Amino acid sequence: MNPFLGKFITLEGIEGMGKTTQLNVIADYLKQKNIPVMTTREPGGTPIAEALRKIVLTDTSESIASKTELLLFYAARLQHYENLIKPALEKGTWVISDRFYDATFAYQGGGRELGFEMILPLHHWVLGEFSPDLTFLFDGPAELSIARIQARNLEHKIQNDRIEKEKGDFFERIRQAYLALARQQPKRFCVLDSAKSKHEVSQEIIKHLDEKWGKGI
């Protein structure tokens, strides 16, 4: 649960599902309602967390063990939570994050096949009972993810990062882990079909925000 004044909204899903675009849609919508809002991302959000992001996403000659990857993500998350998310929420600012802890359960628990049970003790030690107020899950097949990653990186002339280089079955395991999390917590999750147009997805998001917190937000 989130015990603070501000609301905490997270966006989740495999690569290329349109989270960044819709994050800006949500932020703009809340600003129009005169709600103080901050956007951030994981891994990242603070200088130390961004440095850890570079470590986990950069492809080097030394491989990163799955458990090392898990610990690095939670180290970055703790910095992010303590130094950015928590202070903002305490002041009443709404925080929108491109990924949060569900990503670890999906990517390391599902994709790396560590399982949810291994992650849970570490998760509770780091965050206790803290949880987002609302999570939008941008769902789509692994094939769509891979195609969008390739198109995006070709357009911007950048290389795939260490995780983007994984194969389709890795991303499909992540997708199924995300869907399992959504089934376990249907009140927190709103699952969106990322194969729809950007406008259609935006309209669904705004409708859900209105339904959850009322037209008065």
The ranges assigned to domains in the chain are 8-213
**Which one has a higher pLDDT value, 146 or 79?**
79
**Which one has a higher pLDDT value, 197 or 155?**
197
Cis peptide before 43 (omega within 30 of 0): yes
What are the Cα distances from residue 163, in Å, to 9, 23, 65, 77, 203?
A: 24, 21, 13, 18, 30
- Give the mean pLDDT of 41-60: 95
Summary mean pLDDT of the chain: 93
Question: 59-90 in b/e burial notation, b at 16+ Cβ within 10 A?
Answer: eeeeeeeeeebbebbbbbbebbbeebbbebbe
Question: Is 70 exceeded by the pLDDT of residue 182?
Answer: yes
Look up the pTM and report it: 0.93
Name residue 136's beta-bridge partners.
11, 190
Please name the fold of domain 8-213: Rossmann fold (3.40.50)
Question: Is 70 exceeded by the pLDDT of residue 185?
Answer: yes
**Which one has a higher pLDDT value, 195 or 204?**
204
- Confidence band for 215, pLDDT divided at 50, 70 and 90: low
DSSP 8-class letter at 58: S
Closest CA to 206 of 30, 36, 34: 30
Question: Is 90 exceeded by the pLDDT of residue 60?
Answer: no
